[in-house]
């Protein structure tokens, strides 16, 4: 699968990730948590090979097929309808290895009837997030990387996301600030704990929080400003 060994990754003169080791579970759901700027998206980019480690390694197995759509959503034609963006104009599409009606698939992400004909360029933030989610899950693969997928989702679409992750035939890694969502679905947590250090935990978010207090004390559960170690090359 994917294995990180003693990974160190920095940006400018700051260390974002210091001496991080973990192995992604083949059929788990990993929640990545931490404040903005901690290095969560940088970790995704390192797994994808878009960024290189400063030291240590991230090894991706030969059989791993990653499903990931960048949050910037580059390459989407703003003049096309969101249905066309997802379906390429086809009545039936392949979602992973399963063929299904394209309009039914798009509908599962909260786009009903006329909404499917909205131009991609005029979608709201929440609608763009749902479109991004539909494109990512359509890719299939056996390693799913999702960056803040729950932002601006309605209850129905959030339920569809939960079901899709629970049924995903591989490992899903999800960056999220939604504690309720993480409690319901995660099997593992990768958490930023300050000073460029990360902690790998087997269990959901609630179990991780209890473990953190046991290890570091009650004060550790309170929000803290992001701190970094200085990077020396």
Q: Which of 217, 130, 144 is nearest to 174 (CA)?
A: 144
pLDDT, average across residues 20-43: 95
- The C-alpha torsion from 60 through 161 and 69 to 146, rounded to 10°, is -50
What local confidence, expressed as pLDDT, does residue 52 receive? Answer: 96
Q: Residue 166's CB: how many other CB atoms inside 10 A?
A: 11
**% of the chain residues with pLDDT over 70:** 92
pLDDT at 130: 86
pLDDT tens digits, 66-98: 999 766 555 688 999 999 999 999 999 998 778
Averaged confidence pLDDT in the chain: 89
Q: How confident is the model at residue 120 (pLDDT cuts 50, 70, 90)?
A: very high
Query: Tokens in use for 157?
Result: 């679409």
Q: Which domains are delineated in the chain?
A: 1-68+144-174+185-233 (3.40.50.300), 75-138 (no CATH)
CA distances from 157 to 11, 79, 196 (A): 35, 24, 34
């Amino acid at each position: 699968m994917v294995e990180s060994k003693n990974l160190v990754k920095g940006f400018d003169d700051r260390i974002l990730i210091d001496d991080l080791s973990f192995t992604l579970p083949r059929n788990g759901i990993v929640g990545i948590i931490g404040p903005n700027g901690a290095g969560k998206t940088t970790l995704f980019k390192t797994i994808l090979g878009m960024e290189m480690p400063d030291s240590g390694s991230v090894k991706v197995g030969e059989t791993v097929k990653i499903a990931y759509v960048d949050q910037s959503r580059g390459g989407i034609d703003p003049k096309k309808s969101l249905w066309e963006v997802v379906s390429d104009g086809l009545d039936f599409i392949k979602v992973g290895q399963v063929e299904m009606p394209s309009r039914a698939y798009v509908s599962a992400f909260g786009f009903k009837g006329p909404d499917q004909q909205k131009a991609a360029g005029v979608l709201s933030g929440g609608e763009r997030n749902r479109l991004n989610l539909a494109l990512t899950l359509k890719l299939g693969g056996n390693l799913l990387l999702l960056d803040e997928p729950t932002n601006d989702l309605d209850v129905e679409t959030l339920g569809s996301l939960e079901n899709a992750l629970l049924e995903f035939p591989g490992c899903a890694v999800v960056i999220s600030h939604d504690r309720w969502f993480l409690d319901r679905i995660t099997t593992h947590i990768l958490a930023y704990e300050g000073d460029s250090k990360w902690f790998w935990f087997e269990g959901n978010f609630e179990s991780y929080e209890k473990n953190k207090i046991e290890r570091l004390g009650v004060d550790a559960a309170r929000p803290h400003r992001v701190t970094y170690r200085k990077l020396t090359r």
